[in-house]
Amino acid sequence: MARPRKNNAEYFSHDNDMRNDKKILAVRNKYGYEGYAIYCMMLETLCGSDFFKLKIDDKNLFLTSGDFRIDNKKLKEIIDFFVSVDLFQKTENNEIICRGLINRLQYLLDKREEERVKYSKVKESKVKKSKRNSQKPPSNSQKLSETHISDTETKRFKKPTVAEIKAYCSERSNSVDADKFFNHYESNGWRVGKNPMKDWKASVRTWERNSFDNNKPKGENGNDFGKLKY
């Protein structure tokens, strides 16, 4: 979800000699420090308002006077004086603005718009790139990876039957006892040492090399598997 666009500001710059501006001096001369304080609080209110505007109707005047702890009629009188000396300006929609404040904060709005446009372009570029990638044929590395996965699945160990073991032993013309081979590995979970068996035919050939057949004498442990070499 996109972040809502922000049309106000959290702070504004304040000149250290603002109190001596000739328009401010007129405010101070007529309303004293109360007038100066109301002017500063109005700037803060405008700064936090959307597009730095404040509609002066009965509701907003009542709410603002309550915030400033001043009578609403007195507040309207002071605001009208701000307008008369051109500290504030009034729009056709009966909104109060301060051109000086807007001019100071315009750079902030411009910067936000620039970042918004930049972000939109980056996002659009990522979407286009994603679409291009989805339409591309798989790369060699992807093919190799898929082939590796396929080979791994193909080579997944499948336990042989006694008949298959006998057929393979017959094919190799060895004397490995298929029943004994099957029972041995069935009892240990088809493992070679501590590892799962990968190729039962290789194990048959190992038995063949070690002469574990019907004619082989039993090992020291009383079975045919005491001296298997892996």
pLDDT for the residue numbered 119:
78
Strands (E), the chain: 54-55, 89-90, 95-97, 191-192, 195-196
Question: How far is it, in rounded angstroms, from Cα 212 to Cα 230?
Answer: 13
CATH topology of domain 18-103: Arc Repressor Mutant, subunit A (1.10.10)
CB neighbours of 72 closer than 8 A, spacing ≥ 6? 61, 62, 64, 65
Q: Can you give the pLDDT of all 230 residues of the chain as single tens digits?
A: 456 677 878 778 778 888 889 999 999 999 999 999 999 999 999 888 888 888 888 898 889 989 999 998 999 999 999 999 999 999 988 899 998 888 888 777 788 778 878 877 887 777 777 777 777 666 666 655 555 555 554 468 889 999 999 999 999 999 899 999 999 999 999 998 888 998 999 999 988 888 655 544 444 344 444 444 43
Is this prediction's pTM over 0.85? Answer: no
Query: Per-domain residue ranges for the chain?
Result: 18-103, 154-230
pLDDT for the residue numbered 27:
93
Q: What is the largest CA-CA distance in the chain?
A: 124
